[in-house]
Amino acid sequence: MSGGSIRVLVVDDSALVRRIITDSLAPFREIEVVGTAADPFIARNKLLALNPDVMTLDIEMPRMDGLTFLRLVMTHRPVPVVVFSSLTKPGSAKAVEALEAGAVDVLGKPGSSYSASADGSRLAEAIRTAAQARVTAAIGGPPLAQFKDKPSERTVVRPHSPTLPPTVLPAGGLAANLAGQIILIGASTGGTEAVKKILMGLPADSPGICVVQHIPAGFSRAFADRLNQLCQMEVREPEPGDRLGTGLALIAPGNRHLCLRRQHQHYVAELNDGPPVHHQRPSVDVLFNSAVMAGVGRPAVGVLLTGMGADGARGLLALRQAGTATIAQDEQSCVVFGMPREAIRLGAAQRVLPLDQIAFHVAQHFTSPALGNEERRSL
């Protein structure tokens, strides 16, 4: 970042929206809009000429849609990208595709909640976080002929951890061994892909799963729907009073806290509109602490993934103190190492693992509890 400022390129076909974004960021001295572009072809040239730290990108644009341009950028000239999308069902689905393609964050278009309207604080926060993100060059992608300029020297490629072999499950699957089994997952920036990787690595009869991913209202349902298409278990947003059971993963809806309470031998999901915690609603700490209050213990696993800030760190510590196995994602595989770093600093993580190994170790906890306990190491 030049002179300590975060250099931003704004890409949107609407002159009005470009002006709104630029004006909303003006009060934040640490952020500098160094250029704007009305379409991806202009943006490509400015991206290479201006070398911004962050790019904001509208998905719906003429000449070349934002998703195609994003994939080209992430293949040939990676840069942290904050995407704008409409809150319609098609727009939300495209926003999830953008996150899969490498966008760091997604916001509603100016004028909607979680957008660049009002005082611009939400956008400024997203840009600050994006500037610290570790971006990864995509493998493959659209033909290079569509993006003829050579990649910049700023390209950052994150090393990938080796993928462990599939878990060998006992007869009856993961959920056959212990009552009260549950998997709790918290994530923020970069977490949509991390959560996807973990859930896709678990079998259909996994214990009940609760996920808090920091994602704006309007996009969380599309995220859950996408996971439901890809994963072996059922994945959806919860309804109040839903009983968590085998083969069900619940994704906290945007702008609502997800909590658990104990009802006889089962965990029941509850939603509330309590105040944000760590500036977040849903909050990972709220979920983790509610699980502790509900009596969670050894037959459970808590996982804290990539994200800015400290949400979930103290909740993970409370889980560990309650006897729950706890895992934090390692720095090398994180997009932003904030939340796991804080958990490790507090001594909340029994294991610190690369993303590619987390699903394996979660499954191992339930298939071989005794072995899992022997192998755990305090950090």
Is residue 311 annotated as a catalytic residue, yes or no? yes
Angstrom distance (rounded) from CA 71 to CA 161: 22
Residue 151: how many other CB atoms lie within 10 Å = 15
Q: Which residue has the tokens 């009856």?
A: 172
For the beta carbon of residue 157, count every other beta carbon within 10 angstroms.
Answer: 12
Q: Supply angle C-alpha 211, 104, 250, rounded to 5.
A: 15
Q: Which is the catalytic residue, given 214, 257, 361, 365?
A: 214
**Residue 3 DSSP label:** G
d(CA 331, CA 353): 9
Residue 166 to residue 146: CA distance in whole angstroms: 37
Closest CA to 365 of 166, 165, 182, 161: 182
Pairing state between β 31-37 and 6-11 = parallel
Q: State how beta strands 234-236 and 248-251 pair.
A: parallel
The catalytically annotated residue of 188, 220, 283, 333 is 188
Q: Is 214 a catalytic residue?
A: yes
Residue 325, strand partner residues = 301
Catalytic residue among 105, 285, 311, 330: 311
Residue type, 132: Q
- Taking alpha carbons only, the member of 341, 376, 360, 337 closest to residue 134 is 337
Q: How far is the first Cα of the chain from the last one, in angstroms, to the nearest whole number?
A: 33
Catalytic residue annotation:
188, 214, 311
